[in-house]
A = this chain, B = another copy of it.
Amino acid sequence: MSRALHTTALAADIAAGLARVETLFDTQLAGEFPAVNELCRHVERYRGKMLRPTMVIVSGLAFTPEGSALRHEHDIVAATVEMIHMATLVHDDVLDDATVRRRGETVNFLRGNETAVMLGDYLISNAFHLCSRAGDPALNLRLGEVTNTLCEGELVQLSRRHDLALDENTYFEIVRRKTAVLVGASCELGARLAGAGSGDVAAMRGFGERLGVAFQIQDDLLDLLGDEATVGKSIGRDLEKGKLTLPMILHIARTHGAERRAALDAIEAKDGASLRALLARSGSIDGARARALAIVEEAKAILPEARRAGSRELLLELADRVVARES
């Protein structure tokens, strides 16, 4: 096949995989109570980039021999990681008092925090139930590890809110846990289920974790700089909730005297406009952007060779998109 045909066939396989994942996601959540189903349909509207299931599917295809199909376990893992992600969105919106998500109203805004807490629990529970349907205890164990790590990241972040002494190392430790491990596990499990060797599986995990970190830095930048209409969700939440993000941390570390003090004051006063001006002037916004780009380059450098033609190129392209996105 020509390069173009390879790419077309790969794109078709990915699209088919994601369609199966959507169906699996929706049928897993379809229950006997209209009140519950209505809430789940609301969450299904949050479906956006599907970054994590895409990573499972593409990583799976990358190590599947040409002409062979993905395993049903790929679909299960892809739907499971998306469901875990949706659960964290629903609970994050409670934590952030967010009102807008993917251009729609959040569950907490529409139905109250109580329903949002319980709906998030229902999604977590269904994620584990769905994963158990694969009948492979190693998958459950790995995803349980991932969600433990994810919650630890969130809890450490909560414990450090309004802490102006938060340093870069701790920031990266929090981000690795709360965002990167789930993306890393998506790549890792996609490859592992396709029969990739242990070196390739580890490299895919490393690739995904780096993408996850870069993704979070881009999220921080959008929260600081974006406008709600473009980003499609509540922004300015980090400042509102006392979360120090990378541009702020870089500014605090690289400036002194009045310049540093002014930023600390703007953070405490939750004054986004002043803070943005200060961080831009000190080069901290560009600095954070450069860090995200460098991490993406690191990810691309460790990406292993793939079996399926076109898949490696696609993963490289997906890596670039993580930091190029505006929403």
Contact = CB atoms under 8 A, between A and B. Distances in A.
A193 to B, nearest CB: 16
A120 to B, nearest CB: 7
B118 A154 contact: yes
A135 B137 contact: yes
Contact of A148 (B94, B113, B125): B125
Contact of A155 (B91, B118, B130, B141): B118
Given A137-B140, A141-B133, A148-B122, A156 B33 contact: yes
Contacts of A95: 114, 117-118
Contact of A94 (B36, B114, B124): B114
A35 B148 contact: no
Contacts of A268: none
Given A125-B124, A152-B122, A156-B36, A117 B91 contact: yes
A145 interface: yes
A115 interface: yes
A274 interface: no
A93 to B, nearest CB: 11
A155 B33 contact: yes
Nearest to A137: B135
Interface string A78-97: 00000000010001001100
A156 B31 CA distance: 12
Contacts of A119: 155
A128 interface: yes
Interface in A47-72: none
Contacts of A144: 125-126, 128-132
A147 B125 contact: yes
Interface string A134-176: 1111001100110110111011101100000000000000000
Interface string A307-320: 00000000000000
Contacts of A122: 148, 151-152, 155
Interface in A29-47: 31, 33, 35-36, 39
A84 to B, nearest CB: 9
Contacts of A141: 129, 132-133, 135
A228 interface: no
Nearest to A115: B158
A224 to B, nearest CB: 21
A121 interface: yes
12 contacts: A33-B156, A36-B152, A39-B155, A95-B118, A113-B113, A118-B151, A121-B147, A122-B155, A124-B124, A128-B128, A132-B141, A140-B140
What 9 A-B pairs come out closest when comparing CB atoms? A129-B144, A35-B159, A122-B151, A132-B140, A125-B147, A132-B141, A135-B137, A95-B114, A128-B128
